[in-house]
Amino acid sequence: MVIPASTRSDDLSTHVRWALATRLVSPAVLARTFALELGQFYDRREFDALARRVRQLYATDDPEHGGTFRTRLDRHLHDRYHQPVAWNVPYSWR
């Protein structure tokens, strides 16, 4: 039996992984990726909550990037005949 080797990223919390992603991936690219993965979420509320968290991570570093992520994600969802994200809901990292 072969046990896969763990990677350094396995030791990082989900919050830290998303923080790194927002520093390495442009808001426009991550928004497109989010829209493509909507179908992977059983509960749309979970998708919206994650989108709000990621938008806040972008906005923490640069408010314009947070706005770009939000605008692009809503546009991609609209293009795929989905409702925009419910942005005005409180959230917290678990």
How is the chain split into domains, by residue range? 27-94
Q: Which two tokens stand for residue 70?
A: 């939000």
CB 56 within 8 A of CB 49: no
Over range 9-29, report the average pLDDT.
90
How many percent of the chain have pLDDT more than 70? 85
Burial 67-79 (b: 16+ CB within 10 A, else e): ebbbebbbebbee
- Integer Cα distance of 41 and 28 in angstroms: 20
Tell me the torsion sign for CA atoms 93, 32, 35, 62.
Answer: positive
Q: Against a cut of 0.85, is the pTM above it?
A: no
- Integer Cα distance of 65 and 50 in angstroms: 16
Over range 8-15, report the average pLDDT.
81
